[in-house]
Chain A
Amino acid sequence: MGKIRFLIAVIIGKIVYIIGKPFGRSTNLPGIIMLKICPDALSRFKMPQKTVCVTGTNGKTGTSNLLTHIIRNSGKSVINNSKGSNMATGLVSALVTDSTLSGKIKSDVAVMEVDERSSQFIYTRFTPDIILCTNLFRDSIMRNGHSEFIFDKINDYLSADTTLVLNGNDGISGLLGENICKRVFFSVDKTERSTDECKDTVCDLLACPKCHRKLTYEYYHYNHIGVPKCENCGFQMPESDFVATDVDFENGTFKVVGKNGENLALSYQKGNFFNVFNITGAVAVCRLLEIDTETIENSVEDISSKTGRFDDARFGGVEVVSMLSKNQNPISCSQSLKYLDSTDGEKDVVLLITDSNDSVHGHEDISWLYDTDFSPLKNNNIKNIFIGGTRCYDLAACLEIKGFGTEKLKLFTDYSDLANELVRESDKDRKVVVYFELYATKVVKMIKDKMSIKGGEGE
């Protein structure tokens, strides 16, 4: 009976995919319908030779895309869920596009990005050969609570048949799978920018996970990512199998040295140190898949030179840099703001980081602002700070409490007022840097459109 339901679900899933595609409803809807018809559909697909899942708080999407790219370059076909959601419905939607009518996945490898909270509904349905966890940090309070809560959500559903690839600089996610499955670690060696103390606002691992005494760190890369050591009980992270060394911030290059004698010369997007971790994790996975080092090096080079973490263009003569900043994620937001430390020249900053769609989502819990490191906003070359949205006063209050001067702040509850004032104040010698959360994309577009019109009028 279950088998018939599954076959019906596959046929309907394929039809929904074809009909939904022109309307942009093909990446999640087939999965929603299929799981209604056959709730255990995910366990009934005949999965490919290798399945890799990528999870963690930050860097899942970039790492999954990189993995897909490298594996394809090695000559293998890959199915992934890059276009859809990272929950069970998104995975099912992706798989049905690549399956035969009997549910056999045609590709050689499946690379699936998995939302941490969906672990229960995914890892109990099929056992991935490899799970790469990029890191675990505090994230959206309302969805994720705290990192220990998320840790348990992953750890409780791990199988002994999975190999975990873990960040050896992360004392939280690095403890996943202990005494459960085989674990392979990657880490980044001390760099010229490593620090002796946690300079970021938040460190999610201050106490030893074993004896609960105050933890010390040999050094920090950022937040709690570093080399934790407990002076009381001797806790430390296991030795890494793949280590990134010689990180050259000027040229965006580094090396990865593997335990089996691998030595790869790699590049990363300059200014995006997160990337070094993501690439090193991806290298570890690819070596487990026995992909040769030359293919990995060349594939990483392609990606690093092609993609950027932000959009940079001129509108009406004014350079506008816009950067996505995940709402409710203080670590991601803090890291994006660091861009301000790395650029010279006068600039205006626009903060559209609180939920612009809170009339639909409900009143936003703004607690995360107090965990965000806004110190790059103290740069003298910032002339004006425009803050938009219904929670603009909360953000301004947070900045004032953290000791920021208020003279540069301009507050707008209405986004079009903000855009008009920004355009009026804009100057061709001054860059505009816009930080926006996912739903504020339309506001960024409005700003750019108005900038273009002003430029046209001025010429």
Chain B
Amino acid sequence: MKKIVIELLYPEFNNLFGDRGNAEYLKSRLEKAGYETEIIETNLYEEPNFVNGETDILLIGPSTEKSQLLEIEELKKYTDAIKNRIENGKVTLATGNAFELFGSYIENPNGERTECLCLFPYYAKQFSRLRFNDCAVGNFDGMKITGFKNLLSHAYGENPYPFLTMEKGIGMNKDEKIEGVHKNCFFATYHTGPLLPLNPDFTTYLIKLCDSEFAGEPGTYEKTAYEMRIKELLG
């Protein structure tokens, strides 16, 4: 039986908006298709499994604005390992404000900047009090990706490897149509929450990046929910 290892980075912080749904859905899809799955939870200040071990899919969810700073500090120790992971085509999905970790810096409402991992040139600016909500649809390689956003920041600057071109909703900021990062098998997006159950075909695509022989099909419920949502949002 084939085994897929899913690593959740800092789940004690990065589970704000039903983000556990992503790992649950991957597990469910994989096990239905006859795979064995292992879920590794890495807490802050522990060495992540992907640094020296085998992680097939790395999931990084959104965090509060304060814990985001702790995570950046900690992840800087592993910048090279993350860079290698991206270059070696290992599957990684960062959602919500985890997208910002890989950019150049985050500026808070007082103008103070925190340097991020600097793997990509974009930067984020936080706004002061009101959160930004969105329900959006973007295009990735002909596939429509839908999801929700709940943010206290937007991203600006150069983004040479965008993940999505938005068809509904804003991109990395209100003036941009592009959103997220896609390089090799690394995906980052401002969408939060259970992105994978909301996008069953993208989930299939992601699993196939780990094992091209994966032949599992999504269930009827998530497929219908997805089709209804796309239809409602795009009209």
Contact = CB atoms under 8 A, between A and B. Distances in A.
Given A396-B221, A401-B21, A367 B148 contact: yes
Interface stretch (A143-151, A243-251, A421-429): A143-151
Contact of B221 (A212, A214, A400): A400
A423 B15 CA distance: 40
Nearest to A208: B12
Contacts of B150: 141-142, 145, 365
Contacts of B192: 141, 367
Contact of A371 (B20, B64, B219): B20
Interface of B: 11-13, 15-21, 24-25, 28, 43-45, 64-67, 70, 129, 131, 133, 135, 148, 150, 152, 192-194, 197, 219, 221-222, 224-225, 228-229, 232-233
A393 interface: yes
B152 A149 contact: yes
Nearest to B233: A363
Nearest to A393: B225
Contacts of A145: 16, 131, 150, 152
A402 B135 contact: no
Contact of A363 (B25, B65, B193, B232): B232
> What is the interface of chain B mostly: helix, strand, loop, or mixed?
mixed
Given A367-B17, A398-B197, A149 B64 contact: yes
A393 B221 contact: yes
23 contacts: A141-B16, A141-B17, A142-B150, A145-B16, A146-B16, A148-B65, A149-B64, A206-B12, A206-B13, A207-B43, A215-B12, A365-B150, A365-B193, A367-B19, A371-B17, A390-B232, A393-B222, A394-B221, A396-B221, A398-B197, A400-B219, A401-B24, A401-B28
Contact of B193 (A213, A215, A367, A390): A367
A403 B28 contact: yes
A398 B16 contact: no
Contacts of A394: 221-222, 225
A214 B43 contact: yes
Contact of A365 (B21, B129, B135, B225): B135
Contacts of A368: 17-18
B67 A212 contact: yes
B21 A370 contact: yes
B24 A207 contact: no
Contacts of B70: 212
A172 to B, nearest CB: 11
B64 A146 contact: yes
A390 B18 CA distance: 19
A406 B32 CA distance: 14
Contacts of A362: 135
Given A212-B67, A363-B135, A365-B193, A371 B18 contact: yes
Nearest to B25: A401
A204 to B, nearest CB: 9
Contacts of A365: 17, 133, 135, 148, 150, 193
Given A215-B12, A370-B18, A371-B17, 5 more contacts: A145-B150, A148-B65, A370-B21, A397-B221, A402-B24
B186 to A, nearest CB: 23
A391 interface: yes
Interface string A206-243: 11000011110000000000000000000000000000
Q: Which of A153, A393, A406 has the most CB of B within 10 A?
A: A393
A398 to B, nearest CB: 7
Contact of B222 (A141, A201, A397): A397
A145 B65 CA distance: 11
Given A148-B66, A149-B152, A393 B25 contact: no
A138 interface: yes
B21 A398 contact: yes
Contact of B12 (A207, A367, A391): A207
Interface string A193-209: 00000000110001100
A189 to B, nearest CB: 27
A394 B220 CA distance: 11
Q: Which of B12, B66, B192, B221 has the most CB of A within 10 A?
A: B221
B64 A213 contact: no
A390 B231 CA distance: 12
A206 to B, nearest CB: 4
Nearest to A148: B64
Given A146-B64, A368-B18, A403-B28, A397 B225 contact: yes
Nearest to A213: B45
Contacts of B225: 391, 393-394, 396-397
Contact of B228 (A330, A370, A390, A401): A390
A330 B192 CA distance: 16
A395 to B, nearest CB: 9
Contacts of A201: 20
Contacts of B16: 138, 141, 145-146
Interface in A128-184: 138, 141-142, 145-146, 148-149, 153
Contact of A370 (B13, B44, B64, B194): B194
A26 to B, nearest CB: 30
Contacts of B21: 367, 370, 398, 401
